Amino acid sequence: MIISVASGKGGTGKTTVAVNLALSIDNVQYLDCDVEEPNANIFLKAEITEREDVTVEIPEINYDRCDFCGKCADFCAYNALAVVPSKVLVFPELCHSCGGCELVCPRDAIKWKKRPIGKIEHGSSGSTDFYQGILNVGEATATPLIKALKRRMDKDRIVVLDAPPGTACPVMETVEGSDYCILVTEPTPFGLHDLKLAVEVMKHLSIPFGVVINRDGIGDDRVEQFCNSNRISVLMKIPHDKRISTLYSRGVPFVKELSGWRERFRKLLLSIEEGVGNDFR
């Protein structure tokens, strides 16, 4: 089973929920897909034993064949190519490696070379098989690294995918193919606004989902009203508790220290397995 954990708004406690859920499950695989700022291992403390570079292909011009006709640049929807007198400029950060420029080139003047964009690290923490992607500083596109990271999924296990914040392409790439998505929110106007965006993404992708309300007790009850009026299951509420905040500041998952929470996360998993939440498929 593949369970993704996402949130429209950053800072709602998405990694907190993902980590504590994973630590409540035996023989789980955890993929930190927030490749621009992976931080799950602050809490999991997995020993990293493997590192692998991830590359993408970008065009390389064969000037012995190129006649600077400009068809490659005209085709590129991302403006990754520009043709000037006697030179073709390639902007690697804009290239999506689609291969279209090679297809339209009438003189077969385009070949490909590899460009590193980041790395994948692998390790373990107890029974948790841990992977994280780390995007190189300055890279504009996280999606290829997330794709490479998801290829490491072991579908014979329960897989927890820790998604990036927001609702843009990296989030959609992470949650796509999930059996269920947990949307983590907070009871504030900003939390509600971005939860609505995340709900629309789940509907668009036809992924069943439910909501976890973190820091319950602050703000107001409009998030809960929204969920009730739209028949969205509230799977769990995590209170605004100083003990949880203190443990978080020390990098300690609260299921390890506070009694009863491991069982609550196991019940959350059971609810997901029984099909709680909306199924738009």
The stretch 168-189 carries a mean pLDDT of 96
Identical topology for domains 2-54+117-273 and 56-116: no
pLDDT in tens, 218-262: 989 999 999 999 999 999 999 999 999 999 999 999 999 999 999
The b-or-e profile of 64-99 (16+ CB within 10 A means b, else e) is eebebeebbbeebeeebbebeeeebebeeeebebee
Instruction: State the average pLDDT for the chain.
Output: 95
pTM: 0.92
Q: How many CA atoms lie within 13 Å of 182's alpha carbon, on the beta-carbon side?
A: 32
Q: Residue ranges of the domains in the chain?
A: 2-54+117-273, 56-116
- Rounded to whole angstroms, the Cα distance separating 100 from 80 reads 11
Closest CA to 19 of 141, 120, 150, 128: 128
pLDDT in tens, 40-73: 999 999 999 999 999 999 999 999 999 999 999 9
Q: Taking a C-beta distance cutoff of 8 angstroms, is the pair 19, 214 a contact?
A: no
- Top-tier CATH class for 56-116: alpha beta
pLDDT in tens, 73-128: 999 999 999 999 999 999 999 999 999 999 999 999 999 999 999 999 999 999 99
3.30.70.20, 3.30.379.10, 3.20.20.10, 3.40.50.300: CATH of 2-54+117-273: 3.40.50.300
